[in-house]
Amino acid sequence: MKRNLKIVLIKEVDFMRAWIKLLEHCIRNENLIPFGSKDDPKAIRGEICSRVVLEQSAVKQVLDGINYLPKYGKLFPFGARFIEHYVNEYTLQYIEEQAMLGKEDKRKFTYTYYDRFKRYPASNGKTIDQVDALRENLKKQIENNIFSNRHQMITWVPEIDTFSTEPPCLQRVWISLIENNSIEVHLDWRSRDLYGAWHVNLVAIINMINRDIAKPNNCEIVRIIDSCDSLHIYNGDFDQAKLSVASFT
């Protein structure tokens, strides 16, 4: 058994073409390996370590993902209603609904990214609203006409996640003012499902950042940099991933 994490850098101005390029790299780096844990074994068949830079039209396509992705619906296993539902998970209403569900309810998630961002558990038993903090810190950058590398949100809670069987895949969001009222967004992931989640992840998270942080500061997202330690295709999706590449026009 050997793991081969090929490092891939992609710069694109087309959102869907970026995804297809990533699929091609994973398919070329085919290497069937066991994955997960002994109690919950999985298998991945293509894996890379990726850094994707999206600019210009690609950013606009991500922001319009609810309308843009369904145009390519034959390439992946979900439709417009699924995409819209996933985007709606990044709302206060959704995390309130999750909080009301019992532990045994099958609809309840171990965590949601938006809940970790809005209600990150502090050591004093209270919570920290990282979204509000990031919005205010961006406002200060603009008002003071000064750049900063300090403004980020994290999901990982060591006391909860270190030995969890379902820890967060997304680790960090970093935002910087780069010029006037233009910002770029960096996303860091430890693990990511390329075929079934990469595109909808981006649509939901970037739309949340645009709604809660960029727009209130009259800012425009002009660049997205998405980094994944392990971006992979699950064994059961591998043949469909190859069909998606072959069908892309």
107-147 per-position pLDDT tens digit: 777 789 999 999 999 888 899 999 999 999 999 999 998 88
Residue 158 is predicted with a pLDDT of 94
Homologous superfamily of 6-193+208-247: Thymidylate synthase/dCMP hydroxymethylase domain (3.30.572.10)
d(CA 139, CA 149): 14
Q: Would you say residue 1 has pLDDT above 70? A: no
11-52 per-position pLDDT tens digit: 999 999 999 999 999 999 988 888 777 777 788 889 999 999
Name the residue with tokens 């780069």.
178
d(CA 222, CA 56): 7
CB 2 within 8 A of CB 31: yes
User: Phi and psi at residue 103, in whole multiples of 5°?
Assistant: -60, -30
d(CA 62, CA 207): 8
Enter the tokens of residue 224.
């997205």
CA 240, 242, 243, 249: dihedral to nearest 10 degrees? 130
Collapsing DSSP to helix, strand or coil, 105 comes out as: coil
Q: Would you say residue 180 has pLDDT above 70? A: yes
In this predicted structure, which of 10-14, 73-77, 99-103 has the lowest mean pLDDT? 99-103
Residue 211 is predicted with a pLDDT of 98
Q: Would you say residue 200 has pLDDT above 70? A: yes
Mean pLDDT along residues 229-236: 95
d(CA 177, CA 182): 6
CA 231, 238, 241, 1: dihedral to nearest 10 degrees? 30
- When comparing pLDDT for 53 and 179, which is higher? 53
Burial profile 38-50: b = 16 or more Cβ within 10 angstroms, e = fewer: eeeeeebbbbbeb
d(CA 178, CA 176): 6
Residue 240 is predicted with a pLDDT of 95
- How does residue 97 score in pLDDT terms, banded at 50, 70 and 90? confident
Q: Would you say residue 212 has pLDDT above 80? A: yes
48-64 per-position pLDDT tens digit: 999 999 999 999 999 99
The vertex-75 CA angle with 69 and 79, nearest 5°, equals 50
Task: Give the whole-number percent of the chain exceeding pLDDT 90.
Answer: 75
Residue 249 is predicted with a pLDDT of 67
- How does residue 168 score in pLDDT terms, banded at 50, 70 and 90? very high
